[in-house]
Amino acid sequence: MYNQIDSNKRRTWLLIIIFTAVILFIGWFIGYYFNYGYGTLVIAAVFSVVMSLFSYYGGDQVALWSAKAQEIKEEDNTYVYHLVENLCITAGIPLPKIYLMPEQAINAFATGRDPAHASIALTVGAVNKLSKLELEGVIAHELSHIKNYDIRLMTIVIVLVGIISLLANWFLRGSLFGRGRSDNDRGNPALLIIGIILILLSPLVAQLIKLAISRRREYLADASGALLTRYPEGLAGALEKIANDQSVMSSASSATAHLYIANPLKNSRRLFANAFSTHPPVEDRISKLKEMTV
């Protein structure tokens, strides 16, 4: 388990470094091509951060509202409340707000910018269809997202994606209006061609890196959750039931799908679905969990 956790953390930060390198290259190339210096890069960074502030501070409530989640207290459902409470004590984090979603599909998600401002939501189907050990595995996975500050990390990633998209868009608009260097001042033609191709591909590359980071954090939450319960088979069993569950979540959307423990959109059979999915294949996650030892 510790090896899985360390590996996933290293790979996450390697992807962040690659992300940053792509942004710096695009910023340098645009400054070179248009003689702008680094002003464009700074403006794009500020604009993307401002756009992300609402998502960071208010996105959790939007996600809960869209899922039709209802907050519960101890007297409303002592079984779920005590499972979450006991795991929070074990994890050493504050008790998050607990919500139930009126869906028969087996799923769950956590949201909130830090452990002090966090919420966990479970579907009614998860509570009714999973055994106690399986439900503990699901809850531990979601609490691990909170403890690992995954929401904060993904907010940073979204800012980086926004910067790349803005820079690529500004480059294309500037090129269409002929604001680049003159033909006599463009230097190495090969460098220009390579730079232009990379900028054109950069939004797609940014999305793929974002998805890779999201999948890596799912693996990390699986390993951290298994470490929390000391029973990887619990979460593995829950994922098997999720994979075989035919219920469809009516409230899920592409905007919130990345929050859930498993993709709620049931599109895994589509061509290239795994490459553009926010979640790793369930079968792969189950296999890794079954290989873990305490």
- Nearest CA to 209 out of 3, 6, 18 is that of 18
Mind listing the pLDDT tens digit for each residue in 7-48? 767 877 787 788 777 777 777 777 777 776 666 667 767 776
Task: Kindly state the tokens that stand for 93.
Answer: 């984090």
The per-residue pLDDT for 164 is 79
Is 239 in contact with 133 (CB distance < 8 Å)? no
Please tell me which residue, 188 or 94, carries the higher pLDDT value. Answer: 94
What single string gives the DSSP state of each residue in 34-83? HT-TTHHHHHHHHHHHHHHHHHHHHHHHHHHHHTT-EEE-TTT-HHHHHH
Q: Is the pLDDT of residue 108 over 80?
A: yes
The per-residue pLDDT for 12 is 74
The per-residue pLDDT for 176 is 64
The per-residue pLDDT for 209 is 80
Q: Is the pLDDT of residue 140 over 90?
A: yes
Say how far residue 138 (Cα) sits from the centre of its chain.
17
- The whole-number average pLDDT for the span 50-67 is 76
- Nearest CA to 13 out of 275, 209, 222, 201 is that of 209
Q: Is the pLDDT of residue 124 over 90?
A: yes
- 142 catalytic? Reply is yes
Rounded to the nearest 5°, which phi and psi values hold at 197?
-60, -45
The per-residue pLDDT for 40 is 65
Q: Is the pLDDT of residue 268 over 50?
A: no
Question: Mean pLDDT across the chain, nearest whole number?
Answer: 82
pLDDT band at 277 (very low <50, low <70, confident <90, very high): confident
The per-residue pLDDT for 85 is 97
The per-residue pLDDT for 213 is 82
Catalytic residue from among 136, 142, 218, 283: 142
